[in-house]
Copies of this chain bind each other. A is one copy, B any other.
Amino acid sequence: MLTRGKLATRTGCNIETIRYYETIGLIPAPARTASGYRTYGDEHLRRLNFIQRARSLGFSSEQTRGLLDLTEAGGNKTRADVKSLTEEHIDEISEKIKDLQKIKKRLKQISSFCDGSAKSASTCPILESLFDDS
């Protein structure tokens, strides 16, 4: 069983943010000790890790909640519901991956140009391409 501080250090999450996630319902209210200290278990650890990853990838709290809800859709959602929701998320994620790959490709061009013989970065014509859509 973990205390709030331990959960924070193990996940790299700010200790206050954990309380915040509890108030907005992203993580369930944990059990408490007799004196009122929160006690977390492995489910909290895994859930919080996932939330952090999702947030760092540009999903809002609500979208993250949506992803998490897929795991506990349980009683009120049918297979078909879950499937179509899931596929929407897959599409969204595929788009994100594509965008990141575009940016990465551009950055690699920049990096390899900077191996060349130009005197300073200001003479780099590739940089401008960072903005293009292709």
Which residues of A are in contact with B by a Cβ distance under 8 Å? 43, 46-47, 49-50, 53-58, 67-68, 70-75, 77-83, 86-87, 89-90, 93-94, 96-97, 99-101, 103-104, 107-108, 110-111, 114-116, 118-122, 124, 127-128, 130-133
User: Which residue of chain B has the shortest Cβ distance to A101 in the bound complex?
Assistant: B97
Known pairs A74-B121, A94-B104 / 5 extra A-B pairs, C-beta < 8 Å: A47-B131, A57-B58, A71-B131, A77-B120, A83-B115
Closest to A54 in B: B103
Asked whether, in the complex, the Cβ of B53 is within 8 Å of the Cβ of A99, the reply is yes
> Which partner residue on chain B sits nearest A133 by CB separation?
B49
20 contacts between A and B (CB under 8 A): A46-B131, A47-B131, A49-B133, A50-B130, A56-B58, A56-B99, A57-B58, A71-B130, A74-B122, A77-B121, A78-B120, A79-B114, A79-B118, A81-B121, A82-B110, A83-B111, A83-B115, A86-B110, A87-B111, A93-B107
Question: Which residue in B46, B78, B121 is a CB contact (below 8 Å) of A121?
Answer: B78
Q: Measured between alpha carbons, how far is A49 from B131 in the docked complex, in Å? A: 8
Beta-carbon contact of A130 and B67 below 8 Å:
yes
Q: Within the assembled complex, what's the spacing in Å between the Cα atoms of A130 and B50?
A: 8
Bound-state Cα–Cα, A79 to B111, Å: 9
